[in-house]
Amino acid sequence: MRVSLQKTFRFDAAHWLPSMPEGHKCRRLHGHSFVVDVVVEGEVPEEQGYLIDFGVIKAAFKPIEDALDHRCLNEIEGLENPTSEMIAKWIWDRLRPELGLLSEIRVHETCTSCCTYRGE
């Protein structure tokens, strides 16, 4: 049986987007309550009956949450231009070694705007 599991995390952070044109509202310092969906996918071992313990996903995400929550994202190495796309890839690059079953990262910047990253 093949399944996909999702665990959702939240963090609050400030950023500005230096790649936006002068005068664009996102070029100014502002903040978001980001929502991140971590999705893993794979075959459920019959003898186990589950793909992965959600606690394993939570533990793997904890250092990422600590690095991002209540921070200015532009000050974090690799996030000098912290668009949703760059945040999703940054999270993927740090989470993938811990979660081999990782299949996608979704970063919700607002309740109506989201980026999905599935690796290279």
Catalytic residue of the set 15, 32, 108, 109: 109
Catalytic residue of the set 26, 72, 114, 115: 26
Report the alpha-carbon angle 30-35-38, nearest 5: 140
Instruction: Fill in the DSSP letter of residue 81.
Output: S
Concerning whether 70 is annotated as a catalytic residue, the answer is: yes
Q: Which long-range contacts link 20-28 to residues 24+ away (Cβ below 8 Å)?
A: none
Catalytic residue of the set 30, 43, 70, 85: 70
Q: What are the CA-CA distances from residue 109 to residues 10, 33, 35, 39 (Å)?
A: 10, 7, 7, 17
Q: Which residues are catalytic?
A: 26, 70, 109
